[in-house]
Chains A and B, each alone.
Chain A
Amino acid sequence: MKISDNEILLSVQDLKVYFKSEDEIARAVDGISFDVRRKETVCIVGESGCGKTVAALSIMGLVPIPPGEIAGGRILFRGMNLLDFDDTEIQKIRGNQIAMIFQEPLTSLNPVFTIGNQIGEAINIHENIPDKEVIKRSQQLLKDVGIDSPAERLSDYPHQLSGGQRQRVMIAMALACDPDLVIADEPTTALDVTVQAQILRLMNAIQKRRSMSVLYITHDLGVVSKVADRVCVMYAGILAEQGSRTNIFTGPKHPYTQALLASLPSREKRGQRLYSIPGTVPHPAYKPRGCPFHPRCPHAIQTCREQYPGMCDYGDGHQARCPVLFDGNGANWSE
């Protein structure tokens, strides 16, 4: 199947993921919609606990059910709704067409198997090729992710590698079957800054070479400003704002995005006290009525406490979801 450049590869539509316990329902993801196009890099940013990782896991079908529950929405990958797939069907998609890179490279590799073993397994699951080919391909993958003397590294155990190298191995495993979409869940958080830059550059180079799409999950706006084509800002299980990188970084609409950007250190703000958003993310089971951001929002008005409209569209795919903006600009409902 030929796919044109602009085609939407992944489309998440009004996804809701709830976690049920005895007496409360934690609405970790509460109706988010976004698209990932071919070759595009999309970043989901937000504070800790705002539902980024759960959103990513639900795309892979990895949300533990129960206690988790997909309460609504669709996840269309090449037009197929992944939520309708049963276990064996989604196992064919996982790793083969959608791959995932995890946050902690230190624990994401199995300590009792060699690197070669694990990369080889990643290849073997989805493709039936002879062992020699597997080894050849594993070496090529390690070379691609910038690991020296790959032939020797294949027989190493994870504990013999540094954190950066392990993350490279994780990337190699994710790339093993040439996926169309890579979901990277905070791939650089556990690494120090210099290694972080290397990994980001590596991901970028590989993405160009293999023409895949990448969905970054991160809380680091610095990373976002380097890699993103489009940015989704998440807050308390909803999308506060989405748009292109320029849209978000030069003309943020939602007060939350503005606050996030204001709390980013920069050269211009040298010597000043850094802004921080007062308060914390609400508990996903006890979200305030209306706009979930209103208790921390400097611009909150009465409407914010009572109702929460849909997205306002600013053209060029730039959307924000804020009652104040909705009132002030009189913009259209996006849906």
Chain B
Amino acid sequence: MNMSPHSNDKDYQLDEPLAPKKTPLEEFWRLFKKNRLAVAGMVFFVLFFIVATVGLVLTRGKNPVIDPSRVRLEDKLRPPLARPNLEMLQPDEVPKLGVYIFGTDDLGRDVFARMLQGSWVSLTVGFVAVGIAVIVGIFLGGIAGYYGYRHVRVGQLLAAAFLIAGAVLLIGKHIWAGAALLICGAGFILIAPLMKKSIQGTTQPAWARLWLFNTISIDTLIMRFVDIMLCFPSFFLILTVVALLPASIYNIMIVIGLTSWMGTTRFVRAEFLTLRELDFVAAARALGLSNFRIIFRHMMPNAVAPVLVSATIGIATAILTEAGLSFLGFGVPPPNATWGNILSDGKNFIFDAPWLTFVPGIGILIVVLSFNLFGEGLRDALNPKLRERN
């Protein structure tokens, strides 16, 4: 009787049945495509990407294919799909498409061209701001989650105080005093490991005990800072900061990013608190991996799913915030079009030329809605606990 194709000399060898070969990506896609709204969201997400990129290519440079800033006073406030008035325009003023798809505004600028230009602004603001927020959030959340139980020592507080005071003095043009304090702070940090070694073991003198005295834990430090940041009404905080800073698209990205990292920090910390106790982290440590490698190579991929979801929804929020700022006139400076300032310019003509408000408004609506739907679809597909519902 032919029992098994395997030789018997290695008696510990087995042929156990295997689970079907499916990568996590395939599994994710199988769950994700069940949710039709989310798939639609993703299609719009990708479409928006393409439109924004194409828009950047078509509207940039000195002599763009579709010129968003060409003023044609002869052709102002034309409705959508109107033909340009060929008799009045100079030959180089005639739009290349031969038609104003979304009409023109009060200065005769092509709204379609301005929307294209604005879509790139929205895209970059959304992604860069959320990118900053996610990086800050992952970094702080990771530290709070992994090292949270450790305490900040008096010595470390002193060093930090020196560094901050030095930086402030430097900014305040007291170069010598500032540099001296900075060097002192850096010196503290450099000699700290040496001092730790020399203090260890021997009976500690009083100053060493004070130096190593534990104050608050790192977790408390970071998470209370998060709480403080959450106390500010963030839109008004952004307004204040933007009012102080010179208006530019980069400042807006940075400010939005730096006021929206708190949610990610909380997510990552919560994930890390559970992951830290899991066996594979202990196993990774037992293999001799450094803490840095464990945090960023082993724990982060396991914690990144909820972050990805909140980031997707965060992009929608950032786009909305940017549109709101531009609408109020604090956003990207005027020659550049953004959806917010198209809307803002159009509000004076809302009864005469409704397309000036409706086109950017619906654009924002579609993009934000599709990002939110996509984000929720991601969350449902990535979180096994929510799977049973559908």
Chain A interface residues (CB < 8 Å from chain B)? 60, 62, 64, 66, 87-88, 91-96, 99-100, 102-104, 107-113, 121-122, 125-126, 146, 148, 156-157, 159-162, 164-165, 170, 173, 176, 198, 201-202, 205
When A121-B287, A125-B289 are in contact, do A159 and B19 touch as well, CB less than 8 Å?
Answer: yes
State whether B11 touches A201 (Cβ < 8 A): yes
What is the CA–CA distance of A110 and B6 in the complex, to the nearest angstrom?
A: 30
When A95-B287, A99-B286 are in contact, do A164 and B14 touch as well, CB less than 8 Å?
Answer: yes
What is the CA–CA distance of A107 and B279 in the complex, to the nearest angstrom?
A: 6
When A94-B285, A96-B288 are in contact, do A202 and B279 touch as well, CB less than 8 Å?
Answer: no
Residue on A nearest B197 in the bound complex, by CB: A86
What is the CA–CA distance of A99 and B288 in the complex, to the nearest angstrom?
A: 9
State whether B23 touches A157 (Cβ < 8 A): yes
Instruction: Indicate the member of A112, A122, A148, A176 with the most B CB atoms within 10 Å.
Output: A112
Q: B14's contact among A110, A121, A160, A198, by CB below 8 Å, is which? A: A198
Q: Given the complex, which residues of A lie within 8 Å of B350, measured CB to CB?
A: none
Chain B interface residues (CB < 8 Å from chain A)? 6, 10-24, 149, 278-280, 282-291, 298, 301-302
Q: Which 3 A-B residue pairings sit nearest by Cβ, starting from the closest?
A: A94-B288, A95-B288, A95-B287
What is the CA–CA distance of A121 and B287 in the complex, to the nearest angstrom?
A: 9
State whether B280 touches A160 (Cβ < 8 A): no
State whether A146 touches B10 (Cβ < 8 A): yes
Q: Given the complex, which residues of B lie within 8 Å of A159, measured CB to CB?
A: 19
State whether A160 touches B21 (Cβ < 8 A): yes
A251 → chain B, closest Cβ, in Å? 33
B56 → chain A, closest Cβ, in Å? 34
Q: Given the complex, which residues of B lie within 8 Å of A96, measured CB to CB?
A: 288
When A103-B279, A110-B298, A156-B21 are in contact, do A148 and B285 touch as well, CB less than 8 Å?
Answer: no
Q: Given the complex, which residues of A lie within 8 Å of B291, measured CB to CB?
A: 87
A-B contact count (CB 8 A): 99
Interface of B is mostly: loop
Residue on A nearest B149 in the bound complex, by CB: A66
Q: A164's contact among B11, B16, B298, by CB below 8 Å, is which? A: B16
Q: Given the complex, which residues of B lie within 8 Å of A156, measured CB to CB?
A: 18, 21
Task: Write 10 A-B pairs (CB below 8 A) sorted by A numbering.
Answer: A92-B288, A107-B278, A108-B280, A109-B283, A125-B289, A126-B288, A146-B14, A157-B24, A161-B19, A164-B14
What is the CA–CA distance of A93 and B285 in the complex, to the nearest angstrom?
A: 11
Q: Given the complex, which residues of A lie within 8 Å of B302, measured CB to CB?
A: 110-112
When A109-B280, A110-B302, A157-B24 are in contact, do A95 and B16 touch as well, CB less than 8 Å?
Answer: no
Q: Given the complex, which residues of A lie within 8 Å of B11, measured CB to CB?
A: 201
Q: Given the complex, which residues of B lie within 8 Å of A100, measured CB to CB?
A: 283, 286
Q: Given the complex, which residues of B lie within 8 Å of A91, measured CB to CB?
A: 288-290
What is the CA–CA distance of A161 and B17 in the complex, to the nearest angstrom?
A: 9
A53 → chain B, closest Cβ, in Å? 11
